[in-house]
Structure 1
Amino acid sequence: MDHLTGPLDEVFRDLKKKWRDMQEEEPLWDIIMGFIHAVDWTENWIRIILSCQLVLFILSLSTRRRSIIQGLIFFFSAMVIFLAETLNNLGSKYWPLFSKQDYFDPRGVFLTAVVSGPLVLDMLVVLVNYLLMCAALLVKAKRQELIQKVRQNKKKVVSDGERVKIE
């Protein structure tokens, strides 16, 4: 049993060290607020991106019964996220043409937070919707299967000569 506690103790020591290191760093709330205050939210192109994000989110919620539209939303979101690095490189190269400051760092933090993050949320909404639709279909199919079994049993009982009242 001692051979198991050694590695486990080491894992706990590492976790405690990481926790202490995180406590010494700047709190997450301060990082988020710093990001919010660093961005000029009055720039038209940022407002357009945020408006498109809002419209896409509302569309993903309001079209929950239309699987084709949901699929298109999912595919579109996945493609934009896939192209995020390319879009970040283009933004870094041409930012003076459309922006007051350069938001496009090499790691793509701005593009991830403002574009990819909300798109992942949209994709999550679509996936949850598909899961709910599949669950509903499974219940419907199982119900039909049970109804079919009851009908077959009633026919079998009737064919055996017993009287059964069918409602």
Structure 2
Amino acid sequence: MHPGQIDVNEITGYWSFLMSIDWKDPWLIGLILLHVLTTSTALLTRNNANFQVFLFLVLLTVVYFSESINEYAALNWKTFSKQQYFDSNGLFISTVFSIPILLNCMLLIGTWLYNSTQMMATLKTAQLREKVRQRNSATRTLISTDTPLKED
């Protein structure tokens, strides 16, 4: 085992697992930047529903294939990483890959729910205004037909 590496038996909890990761590894920094870019894209495109649906489906597809990605990364970790992080249980890939992606999916769903409530409130306000306008119009019509004309 390399110096600085932690034996799996030394990891007693999730926090110690997180502390055992070398967060300065270039590919991990790139992955974090990818997650930040994905979150920024989700926030900046909140008014473009079609793109957000596309993004949502791509993110869910990537999470679906995370087990295959984990297996591939476990076989080829020496080409891009300093340490072998990819365990057979998938704890590492779930932590640094799938969880942030699923959080972005939750952000997208939250944005959709917020936009839906805003649209429903706007629609209801427009319906109430139209109802008031129709009542006022009907009241004016009744008033104009009920009052007799003065004859000179």
Compute the TM-score of the two structures, normalised by the length of structure 1: 0.72
Farther off after superposition, 117-126 or 67-76: 67-76
- More helix, by proportion: 1
Q: Which residue does 1:149 correspond to in 2?
A: 131
- By how many angstroms is 1:37 displaced? 2.5
Whichever residue aligns with residue 61 of structure 1, its letter is L
Does residue 88 (structure 1) correspond to residue 70 (structure 2)? The answer is: yes
Whichever residue aligns with residue 75 of structure 1, its letter is L
Secondary structure at the aligned position of 1:137 is classed as: helix
Partner Cα separation in structure 1 for residue 141 and residue 18 of structure 2: 75
Does residue 123 (structure 1) correspond to residue 105 (structure 2)? The answer is: yes
- Alignment RMSD (CA, Å): 1.8
Q: How does 1:22-37 map to 2 (within 5 A)?
A: 31-37=13-19
Partner Cα separation in structure 2 for residue 44 and residue 101 of structure 1: 12
Q: Deviations over 1:3-29 (max 9, x none)?
A: xxxxxxxxxxxxxxxxxxxxxxxxxxx
Q: Which residue does 1:58 correspond to in 2?
A: 40
Q: Deviations over 1:93-150 (max 9, x none)?
A: 2222222222111111111000111111111111111111000000011011111111
Whichever residue aligns with residue 45 of structure 2, its letter is T
Partner Cα separation in structure 2 for residue 162 and residue 93 of structure 1: 86
- By how many angstroms is 1:162 displaced? 4.7
Higher-Rg structure is: 2
Compute the TM-score of the two structures, normalised by the length of structure 2: 0.79
Does residue 75 (structure 1) correspond to residue 57 (structure 2)? The answer is: yes
Partner Cα separation in structure 1 for residue 40 and residue 19 of structure 2: 26
Partner Cα separation in structure 2 for residue 148 and residue 158 of structure 1: 15
1:110 to 55, 67, 92: 92
- By how many angstroms is 1:33 displaced? 2.9
Farther off after superposition, 72-81 or 58-67: 58-67
Q: Which residue does 2:141 correspond to in 1?
A: 159
Partner Cα separation in structure 1 for residue 54 and residue 107 of structure 2: 13
Partner Cα separation in structure 2 for residue 35 and residue 51 of structure 1: 21
The count of residues paired between Structure 1 and Structure 2 equals: 134
Gapped regions of structure 1 (runs ≥ 5): 1-29
